[in-house]
Structure 1
Amino acid sequence: MDAASHHLTRVISHGMNAETVISDWPALTSAEVARVLQRYPQAGKPQRLEWHSPRPFSAACVMHTDAGEIFIKRHHVRVRDVAALAEEHRFVAHLHANGLPVSTALQTEDGASALTDEHWTYEVFWLAPGVDLYRDAMSWTPFSSRTHAYSAGAMLARLHQASQGYDAPARAARPLISSFTIFSQEDPVRPLQAYIEQRPAIADYLHDRPWRGEVAQHLLPFHARLKPYLDEMAPLWTHNDWHASNLLWSDNSALAQAHTVLDFGLSDRTCALHDVATAIERNIVEWLAIPHRPDQLVHLDLLDALLDGYASLLPLTARQTRALAALLPLVHAEFALAELDYFHGVTQSQQNAALAYDTYLLGHAAWFNTPEGQRLLDHLERRANALEA
């Protein structure tokens, strides 16, 4: 396939709902990958393109070269530039130096960890060791066994241990980063206003929406419950997208252990409880099934396994467990706004922008007032009570 035709080639990718869609971004081609790898001396000569990723926010593939298997990821420069990827790569290098099994970025002949070519930005890795058990799993797909959940929880605790001492400032206002700058404050209204003003696409989308009233109705009551626990939110650089599909596994069985941690694209300075709450939000609730069956969406056995795995290395106190429950209905909020920024400002999909705002930002918070949402929060309260007993 010639380089010019890559503008027309699309792959099937994960949509915002449970369906697959045609990707927003053109698929990587062999010619394009070969051109990029010329800048990476270690990568070897390309031989065949093996696989295209179905993830929606970028394009990625695996290329077999005479030096080994290479993973290449391409972003639109408005989503990630070289400086933004360098932020992620520095954090990963810190984790690697502290013993976490992660894949560090290869360097160009100039010593950079990413490169720009026209309106694309590329990053290149050796294919990390482990089985990609959840390769085809959508976001919000639960773990397939309690053993997986426990191992993922323990690996998350290892990440938080390895992250200690990494003191880089929080990331700049960029699309698709899961920050914690609004509801971490005593009064979230001003930081919310600032967040919107820093992102003109969000301001444009919300211009004709009664968003202040909607936030006051759906989100601020949960913030009132979180406020007494804000002192538990000690700043820490975190992963922020802890889903089973961002882990590689020891084998393909129900007893597999988490082996390698992937995809630090949403990482930022948040706090450990924010990362744990995100892990619950991503792996324990079947959000995409809500239209089809409003009950039995919450996997409490997997929740217990995840938290038990985490506690095997970093035990949570009763108060931290209550703080986790208070944070959970809000943990999605800034990433929902980041998705709104991306869908309205970059891909200009009105349908997906509405999903990000109405279904995700407001709807996921409102769900915690339903019987199923309350069942999840009540379970965390019972865990907290048991820790005090």
Structure 2
Amino acid sequence: MNPQRTAHGLGLEPVAADWPALHETDIEQLLHDYPQLGPLQSLHWHSPRPFSAAGLITTGEATVFVKRHHQHVRQAAWLEEEHRLIAHLHRHGAPVAAVLPNRHGATATTQGVWTYEVHHVAEGLDLYRDALSWSPFQNTRHALAAGQALARLHLAAEAYDAPQRQTQVLLANARLIEQSNPLEGISSPYLADKEWRTQLGELLLPWHAELHPLLREQPPLWTHNDWHASNLLWNADGSVSSVLDFGLADRTFALFDLATAIERNAVPWLDLDTGGIARADLDSVDALLAGYHQVRPLSTRDLLTLSALLPLVHVDFALSEVAYYQDVVGSTASADIAYYAYLLGHLRWFAGAEGQRLLGHIRRKSV
């Protein structure tokens, strides 16, 4: 029987993981499809990330990172959409860890109800290994380097022209907010007994009216969509050495990724769980934008679009989380948190004093 593990939850405290931990027996069976790696020697670290089970293993030939998904979350074809992006970025010099093919030449391996992927270990210091989502940068030097690295990743992705992903759940993108009437694009059994049209009409549509005309100007680009410090590895001088975890990647546009980076790193959202006000770190915002601008310059129009986008950049992923927790995991309690605290709570925050402080700060930078 696989051991129970804890994982990062939707709040400050660890929770029982949605999926059982990797087990040596599972890995030994998987390695039959990766003869180049040799036999398993040890399974010596389990990731605390919540949506899959993952860890580091050492075999007779290498140490590699193994990640296992339930097929309701990632089927092989869905996972390989992500892997083709990683391969493109690797060919274009981006610091990403290559995915290993199995004995059939595929980068995703299906065993029973599970889908596996095996990556080379990325280079660098894992300074944020245990950091929760929305934890801040340790310093503005890291924020500057993260902005530079994100811009370089976007340059490497410019020639990649694959269509949007077909993955069904747990994607971060702008498909809903790009629609002229986003409420018409929402369909979820979870919402059947909720006043969601009224709630989102009040909280989402005013932001959308300002943003939607600006989205037509955005050239499409494949983006990372989870640009948090814990998805980066670091050099001793504070620069970024590797980029991890393209699980939420999709075809969006560059400012969507940059807005996500601000949302993920500069607002301590979990403070709201303890009655705090979640005061944005404007120094980190400035450093992140400065780093990005050094590599891929931002125009006045870009900054205005960024400020209009920030209140809505979480919307598609929040609804995707609702679907994951309700339809895949079967946890209405977690779906409630994703809907009320994440989707609606963040919309309300941007309408309040602290959200207006952040948006006004970005708008003033465009003057």
Q: TM-score per shorter chain, which class? A: over 0.9
Paired position in structure 1 for 2:71:
77
| Partner of residue 208 from structure 2, selected from 220, 223, 231 | 223
Q: 1:23 and 2:17 equivalent?
A: yes
Give the superposition deviation at 1:67. Answer: 1.4
Aligned partners of 1:337 and 1:356 also within 8 Å: yes
Paired position in structure 1 for 2:279:
297
Aligned partners of 1:43 and 1:65 also within 8 Å: yes
* Structure-1 separation of matches of 2:9 and 2:37: 32
Q: 1:343 and 2:325 equivalent?
A: yes
* Structure-2 separation of matches of 1:330 and 1:345: 23
Q: 1:258 and 2:252 equivalent?
A: no
Paired position in structure 2 for 1:233:
218
One-letter identity of the residue aligned with 1:219:
L
2:295 is paired with a residue of what secondary structure?
Answer: coil
2:366 is paired with a residue of what secondary structure?
Answer: helix
| Partner of residue 186 from structure 1, selected from 167, 180, 183 | 180
* Structure-2 separation of matches of 1:250 and 1:66: 28
* Structure-1 separation of matches of 2:278 and 2:249: 30
Q: Once the two structures are superposed, what CA deviation does each residue of 1:45-65 show, in whole Å capped at 9, x if it has no partner?
A: 211111000000000010012
Paired position in structure 2 for 1:140:
134
One-letter identity of the residue aligned with 1:347:
V
Normalised by the length of structure 2, the TM-score is: 0.98
Give the superposition deviation at 1:228. Answer: 3.1
| Partner of residue 204 from structure 1, selected from 168, 172, 189 | 189
Q: Once the two structures are superposed, what CA deviation does each residue of 1:273-301 show, in whole Å capped at 9, x if it has no partner?
A: 00000000000000001233533621000
* Structure-2 separation of matches of 1:349 and 1:211: 19
Name whichever of 217-226 and 35-44 sits farther off: 35-44
Paired position in structure 2 for 1:113:
107
| Partner of residue 315 from structure 1, selected from 297, 301, 309 | 297
One-letter identity of the residue aligned with 2:166:
A
One-letter identity of the residue aligned with 1:21:
V
User: What is the number of residues matched between the two proteins?
Assistant: 367
Give the superposition deviation at 1:229. Answer: 1.3
| Partner of residue 253 from structure 2, selected from 262, 265, 271 | 271
Aligned partners of 2:271 and 2:277 also within 8 Å: no
Normalised by the length of structure 1, the TM-score is: 0.92
2:67 is paired with a residue of what secondary structure?
Answer: strand
Give the superposition deviation at 1:173. Answer: 5.0
Dislocated runs of 4+, deviation >6 Å = none
Aligned partners of 1:184 and 1:233 also within 8 Å: no
One-letter identity of the residue aligned with 2:232:
L
2:238 is paired with a residue of what secondary structure?
Answer: coil
Paired position in structure 2 for 1:199:
none
* Structure-2 separation of matches of 1:118 and 1:298: 45
One-letter identity of the residue aligned with 2:204:
L
* Structure-1 separation of matches of 2:189 and 2:181: 24
Paired position in structure 2 for 1:244:
229
Aligned partners of 1:238 and 1:275 also within 8 Å: yes
* Structure-2 separation of matches of 1:305 and 1:99: 24
The runs of 5 or more residues in structure 2 that have no matched partner are none
1:312 is paired with a residue of what secondary structure?
Answer: helix
Paired position in structure 1 for 2:157:
163
After superposition, the Cα gap between the structure-2 partners of 1:111 and 1:296, relative to the gap in structure 1 and judged at 3 Å, is: closer
* Structure-2 separation of matches of 1:360 and 1:136: 21
Give the superposition deviation at 1:204. Answer: 1.2
Q: 1:39 and 2:21 equivalent?
A: no
1:227 is paired with a residue of what secondary structure?
Answer: helix
1:368 is paired with a residue of what secondary structure?
Answer: helix
Give the superposition deviation at 1:104. Answer: 1.6
The runs of 5 or more residues in structure 1 that have no matched partner are 197-202
* Structure-2 separation of matches of 1:174 and 1:257: 34
* Structure-2 separation of matches of 1:173 and 1:216: 27
* Structure-2 separation of matches of 1:42 and 1:233: 44
2:173 is paired with a residue of what secondary structure?
Answer: coil
What are the within-5 Å matches in structure 2 for residues 122-133 of structure 1?
122-133=116-127
What are the within-5 Å matches in structure 2 for residues 346-385 of structure 1?
346-385=328-367
One-letter identity of the residue aligned with 2:290:
D
Identity of aligned residues (%): 50
Paired position in structure 1 for 2:89:
95
Give the superposition deviation at 1:232. Answer: 3.1
